[in-house]
Structure 1
C-alpha cells in the first residue's frame, strides 16, 4: 500500500474527501493535525470531568455523608470512558443510536439462543446448593428455578468476568450520558456502599452499565435489596452464593412477588382477538381471556385456581412469535430488567429448569432487521398520529407494539403488532 493511501485510510471519511487532490505534503500535515487534535479533545474532556467531580459531585457526596477519603479513593486516576454507549459529548445534543446495545431489544427469537446453557448450568447448581435454595424458598416464597435462571442469565452463575471499574462507568455516565440524573443517583449509591464498609473500592467491579456483582444490581438496588444470608455480617453479592441468591429473592419480594402463583402460560390467540389488547394495563380475568377463545398450548386447561385471577396478554413479537397470558409475577420479573424478552427468558428458563428443556410451542417468525433509529422515527410518526408509544426511543415495547396493531387495523392492513420496513416507510 502506498504511503499516501495509508494516510487517507487512517483519516475519517470526511477528512479523506477533503484530502483528495491535495499535494501529498499538505495531506500529511492535515492528517497529523487530526491525530494531535483527538488526544487534545480527550484531554479537554478529562479536565472538564475532574472539574465536575470537584465542583459538582463532591459537594453532594459530602452532604450525604461520604468522606473525602472515600471520594478520593473512588476516583483516583479515573478518566471518562468515551467508549461506553449512550454518551453525549460536551457541546453536542443526544441522538438515537442506529444500533441496539442490549440484546433484550434485538430480534426476539435470537434472544433465547443461550437458554439451554443456562438451564443446564442451573440444574447442576440446584444440586450443589439444594440446602441453601430450600431455605431461601421457605423464607421468601420465590421458586428456586426462578432464582437460578436469574443468576445464570446475569453472571453465568458467577463465572462471567465483570471487567469494568464501577466508578469509571458510573462517573462517566453521570457526567455525560443521556441519563445523567439516573447515573448520578447510582454513583452516589456506589460511594455509599464503600463508605459503609460493605465493599472496598477495588471490589467495585461492574458491567458496562454499572451493575454490580453476581446478581448485577445497580448500586441503589444493592442498598435496597442485598442481604446477608450466610451470616458473615454484610451482604456480599460478589463472592457469596447464599447472599447472591437470597438478595435476588428479596428483590423480587420487594417488588410484589405473589407466592404460589405461576408467571404465566403459553397460549394460542385466535385472529378474532386483537394483538392490540396487549399490556399490563389491559388485564382481564383469565376466565375472560379463555372465553374469547385463547387457549393454553398443548390442550391443557388453565389451572382452576387461576381462572378468577387477573392475567395479561403478552405478544413480544406481535403475530410473529409465541403468545402468552401472564400473571403479575411476570411483571415483577420485569422489575429486574425492563424488557419483556428478559422476563420471558427467566420465566421460561425456570420452567425448563424444573420440568425439562421443552421449547416454546409457537415459533419465532422472521422479522425485518431495522435500525433502532428507524424504529424511533416510526414511533415519532405514531405519536404525531395520536398514539402513546411509551417513548420514541427506538425500543419496541408493549405500548409501541399495540399502537402499531391499532394503526394497522385502522389503515386496512393486517395487524401484526410489530415494526417492519413498510411501517417505517409509511410513517416518514
Structure 2
C-alpha cells in the first residue's frame, strides 16, 4: 500500500495527477497537534488494512492446502493392514476402501457427548409406540401380507414381532442410511470407542467388500455402522442376512422380503420358540406375594394361575408354558408375564425399554390394546448421579453390576433383585431413591 498524505492509494497503482492536484496546506504551529493526530490515524488505518490482507492471504493459503493430515489415523490404518491381510483382504481392496477417508468428527463427537440419563420407560414408550407408527405398521402388514406369511412359515417367528423390530429400527424402512460404513467404523475404532468392538466390525466390513457382496458405494449405514432396514452390524450381516427372494444378493437396504426374512432369521437363531407369545400384561390379586418371582425365573404358568393371576382383560392364563413375572417400572406399575421370547427380542437391542416397545408395537399392529396399567409417574426417579451412587453401593456390597456408567443394565437389575430378596422386598429390580438410601445404610 502506498501512502499519500491525506489519502490512500492501493498497492500497485501509480498515483495520478489528480492525486496530487490539491495543494497541500502548510502546517501551522497553531494546528500542529491536530495535524499529527490525523497523520497517526491514517497510519493506524493503513496498518489495519495491511493486516487484513495478510490474514486473508494466510486463510486462503491454508484453505488451499486443506486440513493437516492426521498422523495418528494414518498410523492406525498402517497397524490395521496386517490384520486385514490375515482376514483375506487384498491391498487393492484395503486402499480403495480407505481412499480419501479421514476420521469423521461428527461420529466421534457423538461418543463424547455426556450420556443422558435414560428417560422413564413410559416416556420412551410414548415416543416409540405412537398412533402414527401403529397405523403405518398396520398398512405395511396388509401390503406385505403374503411375504410376511411366508417368512413366518419358514422361521416360526411371529410376523407382528418382526414388524415391531422393523418399526423400531428404521420406522419400516423410512430412515435413510447416510454414513459410509467404513469411515464410521474406522472413526470409532480409531478412538477405541467400546474397546476393540468397532475394530472387529471394521475388519468384517472389509471382508464383505473383498467378497464382492457389496460395493463401497452400497455400504451405507448409521453413524455407528449399523446397516440397512434391520440395522445389522457387519458381523450380523454376515451371519443372518438372507436372500429370501432368490435374487442372488442379500439386499437389506431396498429389498423388503430380504429385510423381513433377515430379521426373522436373527430372532430364530437367538432362540425364538415358535407358537409362544412374548408375554402379556396381567392383573395381580390383592395381597399377591411377588417375593418368590422375578423376571429371571421361569415357572409353569399354573403357579400364577393358582394364585389368582389373570390377563389384564380378565381372561384366564394360557394352559401351558413357562413364564416369569416382570415389573418394568417397579411393583407399583404395570405387571407382565413374559416368556423366553421376550429375552430373544432383547438380544436385538439389550434395553428393557426397547424390548417392551417392540412387543407393545407388535401387539398394537395386531389390533391388541397397549399398556393398560397405570405407570408410577409420581414416583421419584433416580438422576444420573444417584444411579452412579447406587452402582457404587452395589459394588461395595459385593455385587457385579458391569460397568459403573450410570445406566441400568441387566446385571444391575439382577443385583437389585438379589438385594431386595434378602431384605424381604418385592424383587422388581427397579432402582428408587428409597432403595438407594437402604443400600447406603447396609453393611
| TM-score, normalised with respect to structure 1 | 0.78
Q: Is 1:59 aligned to residue 92 of structure 2?
A: no
2:25 is aligned to none
Q: Is 1:108 aligned to residue 100 of structure 2?
A: no
Q: Is 1:333 aligned to residue 345 of structure 2?
A: yes
Moved more, 216-225 or 160-169: 160-169
Q: Is 1:392 aligned to residue 415 of structure 2?
A: no
Q: Which structure carries more relative contact order (alpha carbon 8 Å, separation 6+)?
A: 1
Separation (CA, whole Å) in 2 of partners of 1:275 and 1:389: 22
Over 3 Å counting, the alpha-carbon distance change for 1:299 and 1:384 in structure 2 is same
Moved more, 197-206 or 369-378: 369-378
Separation (CA, whole Å) in 2 of partners of 1:316 and 1:67: 49
2:72 is aligned to 48
SS in 2 for 1:53: helix
SS in 2 for 1:125: helix
Displacement of 1:218: 0.9
- Stretches of structure 2 that go unaligned for 5 or more consecutive residues are 1-58
- What per-residue deviation string (whole Å, max 9, x for no partner) do you get for residues 34-67 of structure 1? xx9xx9xxx8993212201112x11111110112
Over 3 Å counting, the alpha-carbon distance change for 1:128 and 1:390 in structure 2 is same
SS in 2 for 1:180: coil
SS in 1 for 2:350: coil
Q: Is 1:74 aligned to residue 90 of structure 2?
A: no
Given that residues 275 and 319 in structure 1 are in contact (C-alpha distance below 8 angstroms), is that contact kept between their aligned partners in structure 2?
A: no
1:142 is aligned to 157
Displacement of 1:160: 1.1
Separation (CA, whole Å) in 2 of partners of 1:257 and 1:409: 30
Separation (CA, whole Å) in 1 of partners of 2:267 and 2:176: 25
Separation (CA, whole Å) in 2 of partners of 1:403 and 1:86: 33
2:331 is aligned to 319
- What per-residue deviation string (whole Å, max 9, x for no partner) do you get for residues 376-398 of structure 1? 33112112112343443322234
Number of equivalenced pairs: 372
Over 3 Å counting, the alpha-carbon distance change for 1:127 and 1:385 in structure 2 is same
Given that residues 149 and 349 in structure 1 are in contact (C-alpha distance below 8 angstroms), is that contact kept between their aligned partners in structure 2?
A: yes
Separation (CA, whole Å) in 2 of partners of 1:198 and 1:291: 55
Moved more, 223-232 or 292-301: 292-301
Displacement of 1:120: 1.0
Given that residues 276 and 405 in structure 1 are in contact (C-alpha distance below 8 angstroms), is that contact kept between their aligned partners in structure 2?
A: no
- Stretches of structure 1 that go unaligned for 5 or more consecutive residues are 1-35, 90-95
Q: How does 1:28-427 map to 2 (within 5 A)?
A: 46-55=70-79, 57-84=80-107, 97-100=114-117, 105-113=118-126, 114-115=128-129, 116-269=131-284, 272-274=288-290, 277-280=293-296, 282-304=297-319, 306=320, 309-356=321-368, 358-366=369-377, 367-404=379-416, 407=419, 417-424=429-436
Given that residues 297 and 361 in structure 1 are in contact (C-alpha distance below 8 angstroms), is that contact kept between their aligned partners in structure 2?
A: yes
Separation (CA, whole Å) in 2 of partners of 1:227 and 1:249: 10
Separation (CA, whole Å) in 2 of partners of 1:416 and 1:324: 11
Supply the RMSD in Å over aligned alpha carbons. Answer: 2.9
SS in 2 for 1:245: helix
- What per-residue deviation string (whole Å, max 9, x for no partner) do you get for residues 76-103 of structure 1? 22222344469889xxxxxx94524xxx
Displacement of 1:203: 1.9
Separation (CA, whole Å) in 1 of partners of 2:292 and 2:404: 18
